[in-house]
Structure 1
């Protein structure tokens, strides 16, 4: 089965995406800055109210670049510890999403400590991975650190633009790491993305403006899920 992960900004949009058929959700705050750590309250209520979808939680101290200072790392470690301590009454699959880059390379010491802090929670390395100069070297490093997955558009603006690279990364990773394709994926191109990348996991937003704010477009989520199912 191909997994469809929808990036959401709060609990209401998470519930909409789940009801529309999303298999997994990435919960973030401040999507305009690329996503930061959501409130513990939002995560706690999501774990209490979601019923079927897995949940990945962004752990990122601020927007902007992907450098992580010593203080920001301490904040992220504290957030991970707090997330691990939250009740998960339905036993939903829960994981965290992190990343750290410095001077065109992964910040391995920081990433290593974040992944270690996550303990049994699976870890996705987010699209900071697309900022590194050698993605194949970085892929091996992420595998060595024990991450579960990496989100990438193959270093290109969109997953379609980076399809050849994504396919090559998937081949290199084999069964050691899951490569999630993301970037510009919509219902009108999702079949092409699947064909050209061979991806078995997709990440996208399905935004729509309602009442002056961004919400999740349930119809678009359904179209993507249906397209994936029939591909």
Structure 2
């Protein structure tokens, strides 16, 4: 491992964002609803994060969970979310669109990129469900995307390490490869050595227990709650701190 590795924390609440900053994360990807893979955060969350964080903020623009094949109305929502994120003063946008055939929708992605400029753009893990990773990478390079978030088209980045390394070689400095998915303090150093990446993406989350003393365990809020209403995931500052310390000294994130 040579040089310092940038650590991006993926967060879906103000408390997680603050914990990531305390832990020394160089950048946060601000989302909502990570239980569905992440959706666009609320205007309130974005505003408070901007006022309380000193680290770079990249905002996820994804109008819903599920696939990445969007209607014209959904695209209009994404464009409006980008406009509002820019007004809030963030440093980057994280987004992406696919076609029904599994290729990147270059036309719609280009439209989102144009709306996002001059901010940086990360293409999110829609990349991991593209039918041809190599071709998708070249499309993103041609579109001018700064980085792609990927698990190497595997369930986790450690499992996809070989593909991630291949993508780093193919990119040859033309686009940053940002591994994400299943990265922890226990595997991050091995992953960085195996792939040659210069940035990593993780939640650093632990389970937070509710302070509620009265509980109604027979009630769940939502269609299919996977866990109790009285616990949820939140980024842990110490887990982020361990990763940052393991990978090098603090650096200035773009």
- The equivalent residue for 2:47 is 44
Structure 1 residue 179 displacement after superposition: 0.6
Structure 1 residue 214 displacement after superposition: 2.1
Separation in structure 2 between the aligned mates of residue 84 and residue 55 of structure 1, nearest angstrom: 11
Separation in structure 1 between the aligned mates of residue 113 and residue 76 of structure 2, nearest angstrom: 13
- The equivalent residue for 1:146 is 144
Name the Cα RMSD after superposition: 1.3
- The equivalent residue for 1:199 is 197
Separation in structure 2 between the aligned mates of residue 215 and residue 109 of structure 1, nearest angstrom: 36
- The equivalent residue for 1:27 is 30
SS of corresponding position for 1:179: strand
Structure 1 residue 168 displacement after superposition: 1.4
**Which residue, 138, 141, 157 being the options, matches 1:159?**
157
**Which residue, 8, 12, 18 being the options, matches 1:9?**
12
SS of corresponding position for 1:25: strand
**Which residue, 63, 66, 74 being the options, matches 2:65?**
63
Q: Is the 8 A contact 1:160 1:196 kept in 2?
A: no
Separation in structure 1 between the aligned mates of residue 87 and residue 25 of structure 2, nearest angstrom: 25
Q: Map of 1:171-182 to 2, 5 A cutoff?
A: 171-182=169-180
Separation in structure 2 between the aligned mates of residue 84 and residue 17 of structure 1, nearest angstrom: 22
* 1:120-148 deviation line (CA, Å, top 9, x unaligned): 01000000001111111111111111111
- The equivalent residue for 1:99 is 96
- TM-score, normalised via structure 2 length: 0.85
SS of corresponding position for 1:106: coil
* 1:186-210 deviation line (CA, Å, top 9, x unaligned): 1111111011111111001112122
Q: Is the 8 A contact 1:60 1:98 kept in 2?
A: yes
Separation in structure 2 between the aligned mates of residue 151 and residue 227 of structure 1, nearest angstrom: 21
Separation in structure 1 between the aligned mates of residue 86 and residue 241 of structure 2, nearest angstrom: 31
Separation in structure 2 between the aligned mates of residue 40 and residue 147 of structure 1, nearest angstrom: 25
Segments of structure 1 that go 5 or more residues without pairing to the other structure are: none
SS of corresponding position for 1:105: coil
- The equivalent residue for 1:85 is 87
Q: Is the 8 A contact 1:97 1:124 kept in 2?
A: yes
SS of corresponding position for 1:222: helix
Greater helix proportion: 1
Number of aligned residue pairs:
224
Q: Map of 1:109-124 to 2, 5 A cutoff?
A: 109-124=107-122
Greater displacement, 208-217 / 129-138: 208-217
Greater displacement, 189-198 / 159-168: 159-168
Which runs of at least 4 in structure 1 moved beyond 4 Å after TM superposition?
none
Separation in structure 1 between the aligned mates of residue 60 and residue 171 of structure 2, nearest angstrom: 23
- The equivalent residue for 2:216 is none
Query: Which of the pair has the greater relative contact order for Cα pairs under 8 Å at 6+ separation?
Result: 2
Query: Which structure has the larger Rg over C-alpha atoms?
Result: 2
- TM-score, normalised via structure 1 length: 0.93
